[in-house]
A = this chain, B = another copy of it.
Amino acid sequence: MLPEHCAPVPLEHAYRLMNHGPTVLVSATHGGCDNVMAAAWACVLDFAPDPKVTVVLDKATRTRELIEASGRFALQLPPRALLRLTVGVGTDSARSVPDKLQRHGVRLFCPPGYDVPLVQGCVGWILCERIPEPHNEQTYDLFIGRVRAAWADERVFRQGRWHLDTAPDELRTLHHVAGGAFIVAGPVVQG
């Protein structure tokens, strides 16, 4: 079941969720093991008709292993309300802290019809199928995902775009600066 306020986003608008460069949480599952990590280096690669994203995943991460094994992952956007959770899952590794998800209060849900766990409390979710690119993955730690489905919190993203001007502070996206400090998405200007 989808959480409250979580509404489907048409595939052609999925890239808009990440267009403004937010920090993401990366989630994956394989063999009954879920994991979530934080990543600042995620980006749109294409928007339509075949939307794609990139994300850089260090070889030391458990989440990368799960993605390599399952071929699926999700990128999702933590808002300010999930600041501590984001720093927590970005700092601890499941290799040394096996209960990191519980420790940092991560609650997962699976959208109907898919078997990738998503993080509750995020404001956007992008579910991807890995496009295997062994050279990129080995040389650059760069993974490419084909977007299969997307959802967003309709309080801040609807009709295919963000509406952050009227959003409560707690629902604004985070953009990592350094050392656990984040810039919060500010006002909108029209050029």
| Residues of chain A at the chain B interface (Cβ within 8 Å) | 16, 19-23, 40-46, 52, 54, 56, 80, 83-84, 86-87, 135-136, 140-142, 144, 160-162, 164, 172, 174-191
Contacts and interface: CB of A to CB of B under 8 A. Distances in A.
Given A180-B191, A182-B191, A19 B40 contact: yes
A22 B87 CA distance: 20
A87 B181 contact: no
A154 to B, nearest CB: 16
A162 B19 CA distance: 21
A16 B176 CA distance: 9
Contacts of A19: 40-41, 175-178
25 contacts: A19-B40, A19-B41, A19-B176, A19-B177, A20-B176, A20-B182, A20-B183, A21-B40, A43-B43, A43-B56, A44-B56, A45-B140, A54-B54, A83-B189, A140-B144, A160-B178, A161-B178, A161-B181, A172-B186, A180-B190, A181-B188, A181-B189, A181-B191, A184-B187, A186-B187
